[in-house]
Amino acid sequence: MEESENLTVMFTDIVDFSRKTQSLTRKQHRTFLADHDELLIPLVKYYRGNLVKSVGDGMMIAFRSPTDALKCAMAMHDRLFEYNKGRDQLTQIIIRVALNVGDVHIEKQDIFGSAVNLAARVESITPAGDIYFSQAVHLAINQAEVDSERVGKKSFKGFDTEVDIYRVVPRFQDGSAAPFGVDFTVLGDPSDIHSDKPKDDVGQKPGKRGIVFGWALGMTAIGLIGVLGYLVFSGKSIQVKLEGKPSLASPNTSNLPMNSASPTATEDNVVNKSVIGDSVIQNSATDGVVNAPPPPEAPPPPAAPPPRLQVSDTQLASDLSGEALKVRIKQLFLDNKIDGARNLLPRFQEIAPKEPDNDLYIGHLLGIDGQWPEAIRAYEKAINARPGLIRDRFLNESLLANKVKHNDIALFLDKYLGE
């Protein structure tokens, strides 16, 4: 069954891959691609992306969050920067990344549509080591997390109007450090890909060393629990003193995304390693205070991006394409900027009168104004035209928040969501 959903589509491509394959042996060629996948695919999973397909030297990836997609692209470039250190030009992996956001058709684990085609066209003009993306992405991202600049309007085959293109601005452009300054403390050191250390990558079973280490760790934990139990039941207090190696500061995760369900938990494919040091347990009959070292000082916050020129939504409306305008209105609803969405909707109705999203947004505004019977009729019209709109986040949040108050909502939920 074919479905549609608003997604951010990313294309990656290895620069000069065809030329390099002419100089690589078959074994070197396999190693080259294996290293590419081993370095980048864990990042896709970490940033909640879905690898749709991999074709030789490139990947097509889908994200629900355009901000996560751009941060994933930045992490890809930084990880490859570390990998390429000390390597000759032939074995270095350098990529280009391009993104677009819009409605895509989903069928048999693949995605299609003009949003996909435009992302591929943008990738064809992206320079090596760069990240290019469309205006629709620029309007939908959290711009406080990604520093970007406008490249200019570009024409693409198959598209009638020019498209405004943007790029991510690197923090370090002189080659002295990874270009985008992504913190890999949580993700691990990318240069360890060929080290002798055993790796527990996503989807791989632990080797014998991991099993033995886990058994030893478990036995140690059981022993410590026994000692603590004895001390508690004997009425003696405990004093903990940390000696030996100092504990490492908690990794800085301010630049890394969290699970969509909880802003405080990372995904299960990330291994967080830290050294605690040797602990010595001493008995004390005089006090029951647990002495611990003071917490490490927090790292200084990153420098604030330069101030941006503020342009009102009304000013932007005349320059936006229908797809970019739709993405902008959707984001305004999610940000609870209702007046901004209300002001842009007439322009969207003018340039894209047949878009089912018109009825979806009208339903949002009618519901906000308390006119739920009319809102439900608008929602039904939108969903009958495009069933994928039933997954709209603002729609679901509004309905669930008001279903107790209005019988029309309960009937709608029962009909379309079975609730």
- Render pLDDT for 162-188 as a digit per residue (tens, 0 to 9): 999 999 999 998 888 999 999 887 665
Helix (H, G, I), strand (E, B) or coil at 86: coil
Query: Which letter does DSSP use for residue 187 in this model?
Result: T
* Euclidean distance between CA atoms 232 and 220, whole angstroms: 19
Q: Quick one: pLDDT at residue 150?
A: 96
Q: What is the 3-state secondary structure (H, E, C) of 238-249?
A: EEEEEECCCCCC
Q: How far apart are CA 310 and CA 402, in angstroms?
A: 35
pLDDT for 370 equals 85
Q: Which residue in 147, 222, 206 sits closest to 182, CA to CA?
A: 147
Q: Which of 103, 136, 118, 115 is nearest to 2 (CA)?
A: 103
Q: Encoding tokens for residue 99?
A: 């993104």
**Token pair listed for 332:** 């305004």
pLDDT tens, position by position, 18-37: 899 899 999 999 999 999 99
Per-residue pLDDT of 97-113, as tens digits, reads 999 999 999 988 899 99
What pLDDT score does 187 carry?
62
Confidence (pLDDT) at 201: 38
Q: Going by C-beta distance under 8 Å and a sequence separation of 6 or more, which residues neighbour residue 375?
A: 362, 363, 364, 366, 367
pLDDT computed for residue 303 by the predictor:
52
Residue 214: phi, psi to the nearest 5? -65, -40
CA dihedral in degrees (307, 309, 312, 315; nearest 10)? -170
**156-167 pLDDT tens trace:** 999 999 999 999
Q: What integer pLDDT is reported at residue 225 of this predicted model?
A: 62
Q: Could you tell me the CA-to-CA distances from 237 to 206, 289, 290 in Å, in that order?
A: 39, 8, 9
Nearest Cα to 325, choosing from 304, 310, 340? 340
Rounded to whole angstroms, the Cα distance separating 74 from 80 reads: 10
The b/e string for 294-314 (b: 16+ C-beta within 10 A; e otherwise) is: eeeeeeeeeeeeeeeeeeebe
| Contact (CB, 8 A) for 135 and 118 | no
**pLDDT score at 249:** 34
Residue 361 CA to residue 338 CA, distance in Å, equals 10
Query: In the prediction, which pLDDT does 144 show?
Result: 92
Confidence (pLDDT) at 108: 83
Which segments within 77-228 are labelled E, that is strand? 95-107, 110-112, 131-134, 148-154, 163-168
Query: Which helix (H) or strand (E) element contains residue 288?
Result: none
Query: Which residues of the chain are under the pLDDT cut of 50?
Result: 189-213, 216, 232-233, 236-290, 292, 305-316
C-alpha distances (whole Å) from 383 to each of 1, 106, 302, 415 are: 16, 16, 44, 12
